[in-house]
Amino acid sequence: MKQQKGFTLIELIIVLSIISLLSSYALPDFYQFKLKKQLESERNRLSGSLQLARSLSIMNQTTVIICPSISGNSCDNQSKWHEGWIIFLDKNSNRQLDAEDTVIRHEDAMLPQITALSSSHRSKIRYTNIGFSPGTNLSINFCDPRGEEKALALIVSNSGRVKQSKPISSNVCS
């Protein structure tokens, strides 16, 4: 008589139990990893737009504005970057999107669980023809359901340089 090789039902149940137990520990970490990558991705998307705006101001030797905008037709004069933004060439340097100005890019809203807020005192970023961003330094804080301890930030200096960092102040996600 030939002996059969394989698993018994009991062995199969034990192996499946061990696999399910180990995967239950891994799922929360995967969720945290997914949230982290989504937050970093949205921060990188806005950072890329800021760098594009600065480059365009230097290449075209004109003022370029980047500002929050839901519609893509005007600046919202709010600090809610997570709702979308526009980049436009401000040919008459009045910091408003007029008929003679050219919209370069309109970015859609970020993922719904992410917020990106800047100070209400500086809702627009203006790049001069030499790439500077006069005014105060601007911080845009990015938050997700994980809270303040996992928040990220973008800092735009007066020289126009964009820096990725952790938020400088507390209460950035409230």
The predicted structure's pLDDT at residue 136: 87
CA 118 to chain centre: 12
Please list the alpha-helical segments (H only) found in the chain: 9-60
Is 28 a member of any domain? Answer: no
Is 15 a member of any domain? Answer: no
**Residue recorded with tokens 């929050």:** 68
The token duo for 26 is 């891994």
Q: Terminal CA-to-CA distance of the chain, rounded, Å?
A: 74
Residues 40-79: tens digit of each pLDDT: 999 999 999 999 999 999 999 999 999 999 999 999 988 9
Planar angle of CA 57, 60, 102, nearest 5 degrees? 85
Is 109 a member of any domain? Answer: yes
Interatomic CA distance for residues 97 and 88, integer angstroms? 7
Is 63 a member of any domain? Answer: yes
The token duo for 120 is 């209400």
Is 41 a member of any domain? Answer: yes
**What CATH number does the domain containing 99 carry?**
3.55.40.10
Residues 86-115: tens digit of each pLDDT: 999 999 989 899 999 999 999 999 999 999
Domain ranges, residue 136: 33-165
Interatomic CA distance for residues 120 and 80, integer angstroms? 9
Which residues, at least 6 apart from 70, have a Cβ–Cβ distance to it below 8 Å? 76, 83, 84, 109
Asked if residues 84 and 78 have their Cβ atoms less than 8 Å apart, the reply is no
Is 7 a member of any domain? Answer: no
Write the CA distances from 69 to 31, 60, 66, 137, integer angstroms: 30, 23, 9, 21
Is 22 a member of any domain? Answer: no
For residue 43, give the nearest of 156, 130, 160 by alpha carbon: 156
pLDDT above 90 covers a percentage of the chain that reads: 69
Provide the 3-class DSSP secondary structure of residue 165.
Answer: strand
For residue 121, name the pLDDT band (cuts at 50, 70, 90): confident
Interatomic CA distance for residues 161 and 166, integer angstroms? 16
What total of structural domains would you count in the chain? 1
Is 4 a member of any domain? Answer: no
